[in-house]
Amino acid sequence: MTPETKARIENLVQNNKVMVFMKGNKLMPQCGFSNNVVQILNVLGVPFETIDVLADAEIRDGIKAFSNWPTIPQVYVNGEFVGGSDILIELYQKGELQQIVEVALAS
């Protein structure tokens, strides 16, 4: 990953309370896993930003190295990596995701 790509990712993660690196965007997810994440965040009523990794190969490869996580989507809350689709589903079902995002949005 180039220093420029790392800086772009850090900027996106730090400047958005909830940031999703995904295939497609929140209006048109391009895979089922990305759609799962969008649906969960929409149900929670959480404002979030997305970046389409399909449109940016540097970000697509860079985010995997940045988080040391091999799959997309990737969700960051308050600058911290939370996980992908399966982890978000699990946190949502346990009621923990709501708390994580409420704390982030209040800070």
Domains in the chain: ranges and CATH: 3-106 (3.40.30.10)
How much is the pLDDT for 11? 95
End-to-end CA gap in the chain: 30
Contact 92, 40 (CB under 8 A): yes
Residue 107 has pLDDT above 90, yes or no: no
How much is the pLDDT for 61? 94
Strand partners, 75: 20, 83
Q: pLDDT tens-digit profile of 61-105?
A: 999 999 999 999 999 999 999 999 999 999 999 999 999 998 888
Tokens of 62: 């860079």
Query: What is the value of pTM for the model shown?
Result: 0.94
> Residue 27 — φ and ψ, nearest 5°?
-85, -25
Q: pLDDT tens-digit profile of 4-36?
A: 999 999 999 999 999 999 999 999 999 999 999
Strands 49-52 and 18-22: parallel
